[in-house]
């Protein structure tokens, strides 16, 4: 059996590169989807954190008023 010609070697290499390119495109798409999901999750957590901070601030604002009311009794 004769060694593959240069053209056959190049064609085989191009085929492998095309397969690898397709794999990388699929991986890239999956990674972009993961980034979008994690970004949404992060934004949701930031929103929840902001709401929790607001609730804590409201509770802290009430503490001195309640303490002052008890002292005046």
Which mean pLDDT values do the consecutive 10-residue runs of the chain (73 residues) have?
87 98 99 99 99 95 73 63
How much is the pTM?
0.66
DSSP states along 8-44: HHHHHHHHHHHHHHHHHHHHHHHHHHHHHHHHHHHHH
Output the 3-class SS for 36-55. HHHHHHHHHHHHHHHHHHHH
Give the per-residue pLDDT at 49: 99
Give the per-residue pLDDT at 2: 72
* Per-residue b or e along 28-42, where b marks 16 or more CB atoms closer than 10 Å to that residue's CB: eeeeeeeeeeeeeee
Give the per-residue pLDDT at 69: 65
């Amino acid at each position: 059996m004769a060694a593959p010609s240069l053209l056959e070697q190049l064609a085989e290499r191009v085929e492998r590169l095309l397969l690898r390119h397709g794999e990388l495109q699929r991986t890239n798409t999956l990674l972009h989807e993961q980034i979008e999901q994690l970004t949404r999750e992060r934004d949701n957590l930031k929103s929840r954190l902001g709401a929790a901070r607001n609730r804590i601030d409201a509770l802290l604002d009430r503490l001195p008023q309640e303490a002052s009311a008890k002292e005046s009794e």
